[in-house]
Chain A
């Protein structure tokens, strides 16, 4: 196991409310990622981080922000959740130390926005 913990695992919220998902790793890997998975779209990159306070946007970053104040934690925030952000969110790490090395995923966080 890659030592990745996501929380919460399930959340139901209402449109317009803020939501923060947390990804915690135990092994101090440099690269961390947030993906969303939707039927018919596969996995799409939201944001990624290549170090403390170093983050960059992915393919579907609109409506999301991230923060990484410690190596082990990567937070994904939806400032004002919308129904289109109902999805399963996966955090991933890259143990190889390369930006595009193999990824190890967390268990996922299922978010429902009503």
Chain B
């Protein structure tokens, strides 16, 4: 079946360092979404990327969608303790309504 692979599984950084998580699909995606889940919380929608090669920024967060629409990345510049949580990508393969496939997430911890 369709799978979205996300790496790394865990990332420990010192506050101020940068952080990147990557998602890869073996087949072309219609679009990709990113979510953040704080410890003990629920996933919160961050952004959706639709176009090939798209780059979007939200303050210190930069989201990219690959040219082939098979991979995506989330980069955080100068991490802060408020960035702690698990970041998930979710790939939309199009077609039926329930076809959003989540990656397993990258858990980010930030040491002050």
Query: Taking beta carbons and an 8 Å cutoff, which residues of A are in contact with B?
Result: 31, 33, 40-45, 48, 50, 56-59, 90, 99-108
Q: Which residue of A lies closest to B43 (CB)?
A: A105
**What 0/1 pattern do residues 44 to 61 of B give for CB contact below 8 A with A?**
110010000000000000
Question: What is the minimal beta-carbon distance from A29 to any residue of chain B, in angstroms?
Answer: 13
B103 contacts A by Cβ under 8 Å:
yes
Most buried by A among B45, B97, B99: B97
Q: Quick check: B104 and A107 within 8 Å, CB to CB? A: no
User: Restricting to B1-52, which residues have a CB under 8 Å from any CB of A?
Assistant: 1, 6, 30-31, 33, 35, 41-45, 48
Which 7 residue pairs of A and B lie closest in terms of their CB atoms, listed nearest first?
A99-B97, A42-B104, A43-B102, A105-B42, A100-B92, A48-B98, A102-B45
Q: Quick check: B45 and A42 within 8 Å, CB to CB? A: no
Which residues does chain B contribute within 8 Å of A59, judged by CB atoms?
1
Q: Quick check: B42 and A100 within 8 Å, CB to CB? A: no
A-B contact count (CB 8 A): 57
Could you tell me how many residues of chain B have their Cβ less than 8 Å away from some Cβ of chain A? 25
Q: Quick check: B42 and A42 within 8 Å, CB to CB? A: no
User: Restricting to B89-103, which residues have a CB under 8 Å from any CB of A?
Assistant: 90, 92, 94, 96-100, 102-103
Given A42-B102, A100-B30, A102-B33: A31 in contact with B97 (beta carbons within 8 A): yes
Q: Quick check: B103 and A42 within 8 Å, CB to CB? A: yes
Q: In the bound complex, how far is the Cα of B96 from the Cα of A42, in angstroms?
A: 21
A–B pairs, 30, beta carbons within 8 Å: A31-B97, A40-B104, A41-B104, A42-B6, A42-B88, A42-B102, A42-B103, A42-B104, A42-B105, A43-B88, A43-B90, A43-B102, A48-B97, A57-B98, A58-B98, A99-B96, A99-B98, A99-B99, A100-B92, A100-B94, A101-B48, A103-B33, A103-B43, A103-B90, A103-B100, A104-B45, A105-B42, A105-B43, A107-B42, A108-B42
